[in-house]
Structure 1
Amino acid sequence: MTEINSVTTLTQDGDVAIVTLNSPPVNALSANVRDGLFEGFKQAIASDAKAVVLICDGRTFIAGADITEFGGASKGASLFDVQNMMEGSPKPVIAAIHGTALGGGLEVALCAHYRVAVPSARLGLPEVNLGLLPGAGGTQRLPRIAGVEKALEMMTSGRHAPAKEALEMGLVDELAPEGQLKEAAVAFARKVVAENKPLVKVRDNNSKLEAAKGHPEIFENFRKANARKFRGFLAPEYNIRCIEAAVNSPSFDEGLNVERKLFMELMTGSQSAAQRYYFFAERQAQKIPDVPDDTPTRAINKVGILGAGTMGGGIAMNFANAGIPVTIVELKQDALDRGLATIRKNYERSRGAKPEETEKRMSLLTGSLDMDDFKDCDLVIEAVFERMDIKKDVFTKLDAICKPGAILATNTSALNIDEIASVTKRPEDVIGLHFFSPANVMKLLEVIRADHTAKDVIATSMKLAKKIGKIAVLAGVCPGFIGNRILAQRQREAQKLVFEGAMPWDVDRVLYDFGFPMGPFAMSDLAGLDIGWVKEKSKGETIRDVLCEMDRRGQKTGAGYYDYDENRNAKPSPVTEKIINDFIVKSGRNPRKVSDEEILERCIYPMINEGVKILEEGKAIRPSDIDVVWVNGYGWPVYRGGPMFYGDLVGGPAKVLEKMKAFQATMGDDFKPAALLEQLAAEGKKFADFKR
């Protein structure tokens, strides 16, 4: 065995040289890895071996580029040097793939002459999820080996193709038995040599491109079919353009030049910077300074849910999906039956749902009318009406019923969890688990740490969130926690803007164009304007009151802030416009033209300022946690990073402070800057520089 460098070795099995890479945890293409591969192939080619196998130790093949090196100066051998060495080898090169071959890893494998993979392997080019495109020939080689349609779908979605599918599309040449990859790859290499098979260079294979030549409609139809999904993102379009270049360019190298140019545009742009930032932010959110990774956790083998309504049912589905038995308790049989029936319908409506899967998950759900059935649960989550007196009554009962060590959780979206915990004899076992609606779909879980919450309860909750497919962010107790507290700032300004002359559709359009799925007024119409509205108590004092009194309660009644046709398509409503103008006249104001710039700044800057207050009070650990909450819970466009990242993008604390002061001078203390905002601006820092 020859040790090439600290991560690469070269061995020989008879007439086959084996270059082995071992750079935990995922064999990412760092400078050290590239150097090792380059020198390893150089020596393998110079040896007396007749073929070369590239294989990786550890849990995976090369899982991609080293993202931490993006934007930095390149050192040592480039990825292109490695690829050219492999592709130009006079001896057949076989890539042996297990785990995942993703991004740069797949681009390396595509420069081998053949590929062997175990059935559990997955292959893909997921750069689009970082606001990028494959920048090492992937956009030119994948359509040549898999076809244009498959390349379009894989590259714009970032999907990982399982090995069997990869074999069918020609991306893999042979499947090896699990656990026997090296032996199978070496045998395959000997077969190539014995049969004198050609050194297949993917770059030279144009046969699968021919069908798309002269058919631009392939690309236009793909764009139209995915327009909604791609809205606002640059990377999917740039990936498509690269595949078009593969089809239409006179040569592989000219297509490669297009790829390189577009890659650099994305790499140096704000969208990829935001998406790469978010990639690390999501992982950072799992790290809690005083709750280390080795903190003991409690076993959660059975969960109780109090309430079978929309939230309770959705929460229960998360645990059933993870194979954890759930007891759902309701007060009345009809409510319980209705809740369980809704869960069943949700499963049956799931795309690709199999009847046996539905039955398997439903079998994990047990309905009950007796809270005593929570006595053997390891975790109980209440999802009852959002009133403090009701919550306290529930927790008093749970405290008496549940076994010692059981975690008692509330799904409250805003109430004081310390107050809820105070009625129990075990406040250390009480925590907030704020699921977002619909709970079986939304990825975000705010984990709320109360004053006395035990560290093992926090650790258990964070790890359990991952098990049930959620992205968890730790927050402290304050009204609205992180997400809803910041949302209140935007909602207040949206309402104020309407009273000054901006119409609801103006506000919604600006926020939609910014990248949100919908604006606040369209969202209100979707949810129903009558949520929390009581007809008997309505006094017509707000626009919502008047709309509800007119039975304009949103999409469900065909009218709300907007008018809706039979397909629920919205259009601006003259009725709503008259109601708003009447309110403005009644207030003694004169409506004015409000610019799009003012709408955006007044909705967004107070959100950033509130995020700073949350940091100041220690209710969020770091700015990036706030961004993770907003991307996953409220539809903040990931290509803008989140409110705190966006604050840095537009000029940092100094710029936000300047705007807040200007608004405060003309519109009052709703725009009063946070003390920490003033401090960060005075110190010339970014929001990202904040450390607790």
Structure 2
Amino acid sequence: MSKVTTQREGNVLVVTLDNPPVNAFSTEVRNAMADAVGEVAADDTVEAVVIRAEGRMFSGGADITEFGSAPVHPTLPELIDAIEDLDKPVVIALNGTALGGGCEIALGCNYRIAVPGAKIGLPEVKIGILPGAGGTQRLPRVVGVEEALPIIVTGNPVSAQKAEEIGLVDRIVAPEALREEAIAFAREVAGRAEHPVSSRRTDRIEGSDPAVFDQFRARHARRLQGLDAPAKCIEAVELATRLPYDEGIAKEREFFMELVNGDQSKALRHVFFAERQAGKIDGLPKDVQPLPVRKVGIIGAGTMGGGIAMNFLTAGYDVVMVERQQDALDRGTAIMRKNYEATARKGRMTGEQVEAAMGRLTPVLDMQALADCDLVIEAVFELMEIKKDVFGQLDTICKPEAILASNTSYLDVNAIAACTSRPEQVLGLHFFSPANIMRLLEVVRGDKTSPQVLATAMDLARKIGKVAVVSGVCHGFIGNRMLGARQDQANALLMEGALPAQVDQVLLDFGFPMGPFQMADLAGLDIGWDPDKTSSSTVREVLCEQGRRGQKTGGGFYDYGEDRQRTPSEAANAVIRDFAARSGNEQRDITDDEIRERLLYPMVNEGALILEEGIAQRAGDIDTVWVNGYGWPPHTGGPMFWADTIGLDKVLAGLERHAERMPDVKISQLLRDKAASGGRFNG
């Protein structure tokens, strides 16, 4: 069946795109579209054209798998030019999302109509490139510079209503009437002597204030720091106001090729594909079907339990939430409502949706209420004895086919499963805090977890909007195991002469949102600290003993003012120096390069060990965990892709160079082998 079909409706030719799942403009589609345009140009009885699409969206854009390959004609820019050059009006009917090339096709048409739920945007910057088919030049000509800049530079789409407000859409129509309305609109404009042509418009860019661009750069400086694509996007839009269209489009193409061949775009495209590959589970039978899940139980109404519950409530599931004490239950449900109402104030939910979500929640004090749940997730204290007790109770309460999951971030899922008579129904679901916001979900497969249970967990992850990665059982799984390797070195560096601000700044400069000591202060230094058993055995323990327990007390590794802005702390630094002296550690000046290598290279090495042991299926899964759960800068592709980029021989040499100061780091044989052969973790 053809992916592009044409149908005559009197004097209107209707061109329909049908290339599921996202109607990508692949080579085959572009060829068929070009043939349709040629048909229009050659037929004098065709007076107008409607371009539409089947499915739930108009188009997700260009076929990303073709990026980096030699161009195949007709290219998308050539196709859009051909549409724009027609001497007959072209109306595009947007039945849903139109992104990237889909939006650029729309810009090449004379008129645009859309359904109320449509979203229109140019997200190319999110994979490290800019719109390369005229988007940076046509969009400002259609909507003006101030509206075009955020759409192009942030990559975030706008709603149909916003698009109509700024002139990107001419009319909004009911979904069921879209095709007929588009044809009627085409007939309505067919008799007009002139039609708007995006590339020829100058009315929205004439007299643009050059200061707008510098102001935009300044306003978004922190967000855009170190990123190539946003800078080029701004420059391309600026050129649209200063150059004739043909010269501007040539610069856009030059920028596009520069970016698409650069390391940042390669890394971001790797992240894009790695997230999708993570859902494919090695060894899972192709015919396995997920179990039905309608009701979910959550044990614990604290920060994690409440956040986990919100994921399922938002997705339409009924949730039973269990706590031991009424005040804890009331506090947890109140926080959930407060979070939902904050979301509604931002326009991301309606009041009705808030009430519907909270209406699906049943808060209880009796675990017997979990008896008819299809999935139960415990989110209690991270102590094995407590978790074993909970799972023992669940085994007697829950129906035999129920899935039992632990939100543990470190503990042995096999040991937890062994406390039940159904280890095949047990697995780990490690949500990341705040659980209602963070995208990552580590799905921990126990030795006896059944394929059907694993498939169900992955299916549920997709339905609640998570990026799921399968991990085997080990201490800390994928993410926290590697985090531990980094934290060990961060602590060691303090004993050798570095201070928290220097260590953190190295990671901030690399692109992390915060460093290890900022993160510790934010979480609270007293997590796991027992004041009754304190013995001044670590720097962290001494700080807690002095009342410096992080942001919440106004001081930890840093000092914090009323606005919670951090400043280096002389008090904390004195504790560090004193502890190092008492421990017999010689202090020295440490370079930023050494800090970066000693923080990041052991992480890569730990990732290699994780691959060796079969804890992770593929290197891209490790990258997905760190980009989505731990703030690894996406434009470097994740720890394993970054190591591939700089060279595994360089990583190995750095580990060997610092080996004397890192005696506990066991260098991976997989890393040694790949470094010797010039190989990569990511194929």
Taking structure 1 as the reference length, what is the TM-score of the superposition?
A: 0.95
Alignment of 1:385-464 (within 5 A): 385-464=381-460
Q: 2:366 maps to which residue? A: 370
Q: Secondary structure at the match of 1:189?
A: helix
Q: 2 CA distance for matches of 1:668 and 1:313?
A: 40
Change (3 A) 1:23 1:349: closer
Deviation string for 1:85-115 (max 9, x for gaps)?
A: 1111122222232222211121122112222
Q: Deviations over 1:529-556 (max 9, x none)?
A: 1111122222212211221111111111
Q: Which runs of structure 2 are paired with 1:520-669 in the superposition (5 Å)? A: 520-651=516-647, 653-664=648-659, 666-669=660-663
Greater mean deviation of Cα atoms: 389-398 or 29-38: 29-38
Deviation, 1:355, is 4.3
How far, CA to CA, are the matches of 1:361 and 1:22 in structure 2?
A: 35
- Select 2:83's aligned residue among 81, 86, 97: 86
Structure 2 partner of 1:303: 296
Task: State the partner residue of 2:250.
Answer: 257
Q: Is the Cα contact below 8 Å between 1:132 and 1:266 reproduced in 2?
A: yes
How do residues 261-280 of structure 1 correspond to structure 2 at under 5 angstroms? 261-280=254-273
Aligned counterparts of 1:83 and 1:260: Cα–Cα separation in 2 = 14
Can you list the C-alpha shifts for 1:636-658, whole angstroms capped at 9, x where unaligned? 1111111111110111x333222
Q: Which residue does the alignment assign to 2:174?
A: 177
C-alpha change, 1:20 and 1:438, in structure 2 (3 Å) is: closer
Secondary structure of residue in 2 paired with 1:19: strand
Alpha-carbon shift at residue 594 of structure 1 (Å) = 0.9
| Shift of residue 614, structure 1, vs aligned partner | 0.8
Give the conservation status (yes or no) of the 8 Å contact 1:304–1:374. yes
Q: Distance in 1 between matches of 2:261 and 2:341?
A: 45
1:279, distance to aligned residue in structure 2 (A): 0.7
SS in 1 for 2:532: helix
Task: Work out which of the residue numbers 319, 322, 328 in structure 1 matches 2:315.
Answer: 322
Determine whether 1:226 maps to 2:220. Answer: yes
1:55 paired residue number: 52
Structure 2 distance, partners of 1:147, 1:562, is 45
1:135 counterpart residue number: 132
Indicate conservation of the 8 Å contact 2:285/2:451, yes or no.
no
- CA distance in 1: counterparts of 2:93 and 2:266, whole angstroms: 33
Would you say the 8 A contact 1:287–1:293 is kept in 2? no
Question: Which amino acid is the alignment partner of residue 600 of structure 2?
Answer: I
Distance in 1 between the 2:166 and 2:655 partners? Answer: 56
Distance between the aligned counterparts of 1:304 and 1:191, measured in 2? 56
Label 1:100 to 1:337 Cα distance change in 2 as closer, same or farther (>3 A): closer
Task: State the distance in 2 between where 1:202 and 1:356 align.
Answer: 40
Given the alignment, which residue of 149, 153, 172 partners 1:156? 153
Give the percent of matched residue pairs that are identical in Structure 1 and Structure 2: 53
Mean Cα deviation higher: 396-405 or 334-343 = 334-343
Does structure 1 residue 484 correspond to structure 2 residue 484?
A: no
Letter in 1 for 2:261: T
Q: Is 2:234 aligned against 1:237?
A: no
State whether residues 661 and 672 of structure 1, in contact with CA within 8 Å, keep that contact through their aligned partners in structure 2.
Answer: no
After TM superposition, the structure 1 stretch with the greater mean CA deviation from structure 2, 624-633 or 10-19, is: 10-19
* Structure 1: stretches of 5+ with no match in the other structure: none
Deviation at 1:354, TM superposition (A): 4.7
CA contact (8 A) 1:148 1:208 kept: yes
The letter of the residue matching 2:113 is V
State the Cα distance separating 1:293 from its structure 2 match.
Answer: 5.9
* 1:68-92 CA distance string (max 9 Å, x none): 0101011221222212211111222
**Structure 1 range deviating more: 465-474 or 488-497:** 465-474
Worse-superposed segment, 71-80 or 111-120 = 111-120
Does structure 1 residue 44 correspond to structure 2 residue 49? Answer: no
Q: 2:119 is matched with which residue?
A: 122
**More displaced 10-residue stretch of structure 1: 618-627 or 159-168:** 159-168
CA distance in 1, matches of 2:289, 2:661: 51
Provide the C-alpha distance between the structure 1 equivalents of 2:6 and 2:568, rounded to a whole number of angstroms.
69
* Aligned 8 A contact 2:137 2:240 in 1: yes
SS in 1 for 2:667: coil
Moved more, 395-404 or 549-558: 549-558
RMSD: 1.8
The letter for the 1-side match of 2:201 is N
1:473 aligned to 2:469?
A: yes
Q: Counterpart of 1:72 in structure 2: which amino acid?
A: S
Question: Residue 236 of structure 2 contacts residue 248 of structure 2 at CA under 8 Å; is this kept in 1?
Answer: yes
- 1:460 offset after TM fit, Å? 0.9
Aligned residue among 50, 61, 64 for 1:64: 61
Q: C-alpha distance in 1, partners of 2:537/2:172?
A: 70
- Partners of 1:532 and 1:570 in 2: CA distance: 23
Q: 1:228 to 1:668 in 2, by over 3 A?
A: closer
* Secondary structure in structure 1 of the residue aligned to 2:152: helix
Q: How far apart are the structure 1 equivalents of 2:459 and 2:68?
A: 33
Letter in 2 for 1:239: C
Structure 2 equivalent of residue 342 of structure 1 = 335
In 1, Cα distance between the equivalents of 2:53 and 2:444? 41
Q: Which residue, 508, 520, 527 being the options, matches 1:512? A: 508
Which of structure 1's runs of 4+ aligned residues deviate more than 4 A?
none
Cα 1:22/1:346, change in 2 over 3 Å: closer
CA distance in 2, matches of 1:403, 1:676: 44
Taking a change above 3 Å as real, the CA distance of residues 75 and 406 of structure 1, as seen in their structure-2 partners, is same
Write the distance in 1 (CA, Å) between the matches of 2:272 and 2:18. Answer: 24
Q: Give the drift of 1:501.
A: 0.9
Relative to the length of structure 2, the TM-score reads 0.96
In the TM superposition, residue 519 of structure 1 has moved relative to its aligned partner by 0.2
The whole-number CA distance in structure 1 between the counterparts of 2:527 and 2:16 is: 61
- Rounded to whole Å, the distance in 2 between the matches of 1:354 and 1:53 is 34
Question: Residue 23 of structure 2: SS of its match in structure 1?
Answer: coil
- Amino acid across the alignment from 2:331: R
SS of 1:584's equivalent in the other structure is helix
Alignment of 1:85-104 (within 5 A): 85-104=82-101
Residue identity in the other structure for 1:657: L
User: What SS class does the counterpart of residue 207 from structure 1 fall into?
Assistant: coil
The 1-side partners of 2:245 and 2:193 are apart by: 23
Is the 8 Å Cα contact of residues 444 and 472 (structure 2) preserved in structure 1?
A: yes
Q: CA deviation digits over 1:219-278, x for unaligned, max 9? A: 23323333333333332222222222222x141222223322322222121111111111
Render the CA deviation track for 1:146-166: whole Å, top value 9, x for unaligned.
122221121222222232332
Please give the alpha-carbon distance, in whole angstroms, between the structure 2 residues aligned to 1:490 and 1:688. 22
Unaligned runs of 5+ residues in structure 2 are none
Q: 1:333 to 1:51 in 2, by over 3 A?
A: closer
Q: 1:631 to 1:254 in 2, by over 3 A?
A: same
> Which residue in 2 is equivalent to 1:285?
278
Question: Residue 314 of structure 1: CA displacement?
Answer: 1.3
Distance 2:285 2:65 in 1: 23
Alignment pair present for 1:674 and 2:671: no
**Deviates most, 301-310 or 488-497:** 301-310
Supply the distance in 1 between the matched residues of 2:332 and 2:114 (Cα, whole angstroms).
45
